[in-house]
Chains A and B, each alone.
Chain A
Amino acid sequence: MISNSDERLLTQPKSPKPNKIKLRNPSLSSYMITGVITFLILTTAYTLTHLDAANVKIGSAFSGLMMTLNQMFLQPSAGSDGIVMLLQALGISLLLSIMTTIIGAVVGFFLAVMASKNLTNAWLGSGIRVFMAIVRAIPTIIWVLIFSIVCGLGTNAAILGLSFHSVAYLTKAYSESIEEIDQSTIEALKVTGSKFWVIVFQAIWPTIIASLVSWTFIRLEINFANAVAVGAAAGAGGIGYQLFVASGMSFDFHEVGMIVYLIIAVAILLEFIAVKLRKAYIAK
């Protein structure tokens, strides 16, 4: 007879030891993330505590800044230059960025074709890639300053300098898109006996057109910002130069505000066009 008092039946099932549940699996990736974050925060803490503030009283500097910002953004005016001249300068900056983007896109595409691992031999490809990495490492402004010695201060130096950096940037971007293409497409066309440039324009071009357009417009946005910057720092003309004169020489912050609003308007317009185009190409 089975009695309830049978020891064996009464024994409670042993509950497993209440181990702590492991929430995260330690991996190389998570160690790396912790390491990078720690390093960045420590570096920041060191930098901020050792920052040379040149004995500026932070409080009064901030109140001065607020006053300047108030003048800029709440009371913008065209100042002594007049709105027509500012719009002209804005147009020049915009043309500068469009033109350098066109040069960058055309030259960049051909270089990208020659630099892609799946299209050309390794030596030519890596040669171009290394050269472009060096060109990219030099800031745009320094390129413009270098060219301004050879062709004189002005738009020519700005165009060459901006184009140089655009070519290097777009070569990298394009060749990365080309390298993502399925190798079998290229091989299939090679088997049919197609020439190199036929493969490029009939197979590669249509496949990557969406990312080509998207990268080119990203570069256009960057080039517009750069055109403003080199105008200010290298005297290359355009709205950047007006901005530099108004903020650094005549201290007319009402005019600075106007210029900044004009630049923002164009930049947001470019961004809007880029987003629309990207959507249109992805939808296709």
Chain B
Amino acid sequence: MQTPVNYLARKHWKQTGTIALIGSIYLLSSWILKFDGLTGIVAIPKAFSWLGINFKPTANSIHFLPTIWQKLIGTVLLAIASTVVASFIAIFVALIGAKATGGNALVQTVVRGIASFFRNIPLVAWAMILLFSFKQSDFTGFLALLLMSVGYLIRAFMEIIEDEASETMLALKATGASYFQVIFQAVLPQIMPSLISWILYMIENNVRDATLVGILTGTGIGFVFDIYYKSFRFDAAGMTVLSIIVVVIVLEVLSNQIRKVIL
């Protein structure tokens, strides 16, 4: 019989078990990876003091500012363009694949599979494959971000359609409206705020990912940082990081304000 004492004892054992399991996973991983937690903790203040000394932008690094900002703005534009093109593709695929608006079960499964496939191919793989064919150009970065975003947005848009538009779809179908009338007059306007919210999130995310793509493919802000970093011009690298922080936080605040108005 379930008595309170019984229940508490079981809960106690469950909690102890979970903590022990997580702790042993941690210890096992740190043993295999040869990670010393103590050295790690010591390294954090060291890293910050090093950052404070070396990454501090000096008067000299003002000279780098125009180059940095030019590349940074280019990167933001690239992130926006890839997200917008990706969302155009994703919305149509999502309409085909969603349960409420789409085809039969087979089509849905295929769309889900394709989305999952695209989403899970690592960005590194896209960047390196595209670099091989498209060389060191902005177009490479654009395509890598585009292919990555498409997978994410298809999944997000499908969930939005199913959450928000299933009932609308049924109600309007009952009135005898044609499929395209329902989609363009009811479904799309209804889900538009959530779509934009996701698109804004994806833009923020792509600006951050563009740094990684840039380091790998030699484009945009990632390339600039990589050059400064590898040639030990740390003050300029610090300036680059500072600029990235400013841009990402401005984007985040801006999109939060937009979200507050539209949602």
Specify which of A149, A228, A251 lies most central, judged by the most chain B CB atoms within 10 Å of its CB: A149
Give residues of chain B (81-134) contacting chain A, Cβ–Cβ below 8 Å.
Answer: 81, 84-85, 116-117, 119-125, 128-134
Specify which of B33, B124, B133 lies most central, judged by the most chain A CB atoms within 10 Å of its CB: B124
Of chain B, the residue at the smallest CB distance from A32 is: B261
Are B77 and A251 in contact, with the CB atoms below 8 A? no
Are A160 and B44 in contact, with the CB atoms below 8 A? yes
Given A54-B135, A95-B33, A150:B122 Cβ within 8 A: no
Bound-state CA distance A260–B120 (Å) is 9
Chain B's nearest CB lies how many Å from the CB of A86?
Answer: 14
Q: Which of A6-14, A59-67, A112-120 contacts B (4 or more CB under 8 A)?
A: A59-67
Given A96-B33, A264-B120, A147:B43 Cβ within 8 A: yes
Bound-state CA distance A26–B6 (Å) is 61
Chain B's nearest CB lies how many Å from the CB of A89?
Answer: 12
Bound-state CA distance A40–B35 (Å) is 45
Bound-state CA distance A251–B145 (Å) is 22
Of chain A, the residue at the smallest CB distance from B77 is: A47
Total interface residues on A, using CB and 8 Å? 72
Are B40 and A159 in contact, with the CB atoms below 8 A? yes
Given A40-B80, A137-B245, A155-B35, A256:B47 Cβ within 8 A: no
Given A149-B50, A263-B122, A44:B139 Cβ within 8 A: no
Bound-state CA distance A89–B117 (Å) is 21
Bound-state CA distance A100–B47 (Å) is 18
Contact with A along B141-172 (1 / 0, CB 8 A): 01000000000000000000000000000000
Give residues of chain B (34-58) contacting chain A, Cβ–Cβ below 8 Å.
Answer: 34-36, 39-40, 43-44, 46-47, 50-51, 55
Residues of A contacting B128 with CB < 8 Å?
232, 243-244, 247-248, 256
Of chain A, the residue at the smallest CB distance from B123 is: A229
Assess whether A218 is interfacial by the CB under 8 Å rule. Answer: no
Assess whether A203 is interfacial by the CB under 8 Å rule. Answer: no
Of chain A, the residue at the smallest CB distance from B192 is: A33
Residues of B contacting A47 with CB < 8 Å?
77-78, 80-81
A247 in complex: contacting residue of B117, B129, B208, B252, CB < 8 Å = B129
Are B33 and A43 in contact, with the CB atoms below 8 A? no
Are B122 and A53 in contact, with the CB atoms below 8 A? no
Residues of B contacting A256 with CB < 8 Å?
125, 128-129
Bound-state CA distance A240–B133 (Å) is 20
Q: What number of A-B contacts does a CB cutoff of 8 Å give?
A: 205
Of chain B, the residue at the smallest CB distance from A53 is: B139
Give residues of chain B (179-209) contacting chain A, Cβ–Cβ below 8 Å.
Answer: 189, 192-193, 196, 199-200, 208-209
Of chain A, the residue at the smallest CB distance from B87 is: A40
Of chain A, the residue at the smallest CB distance from B139 is: A53
Given A44-B80, A44-B84, A243-B124, A151:B39 Cβ within 8 A: yes
Are B33 and A159 in contact, with the CB atoms below 8 A? yes
Residues of B contacting A151 with CB < 8 Å?
39-40, 43
Are A65 and B30 in contact, with the CB atoms below 8 A? no
Chain A's nearest CB lies how many Å from the CB of B22?
Answer: 6
Given A98-B25, A137-B249, A243-B128, A61:B134 Cβ within 8 A: yes
Chain B's nearest CB lies how many Å from the CB of A212?
Answer: 12
Assess whether B229 is interfacial by the CB under 8 Å rule. Answer: yes
Given A54-B137, A271-B116, A137:B80 Cβ within 8 A: no
Give residues of chain B (63-88) contacting chain A, Cβ–Cβ below 8 Å.
Answer: 77-78, 80-81, 84-85
A-B interface, 3 closest residue pairs, ranked by CB to CB distance from nearest: A54-B137, A247-B128, A137-B248
Q: Which residues of A come within 8 Å of B, CB atoms?
A: 24, 28-29, 32-33, 36-37, 40-41, 43-44, 46-48, 51-54, 56, 61-62, 64-65, 68-69, 72, 92, 95-96, 98-99, 102-103, 133-134, 136-142, 145-147, 149-151, 155-156, 159-160, 225, 228-229, 232-233, 240, 243-244, 247-248, 251, 253, 256, 259-260, 263-264, 267-268, 271
5 sample A-B contacts, Cβ–Cβ < 8 Å, listed by A number: A64-B132, A98-B25, A136-B248, A139-B212, A159-B40
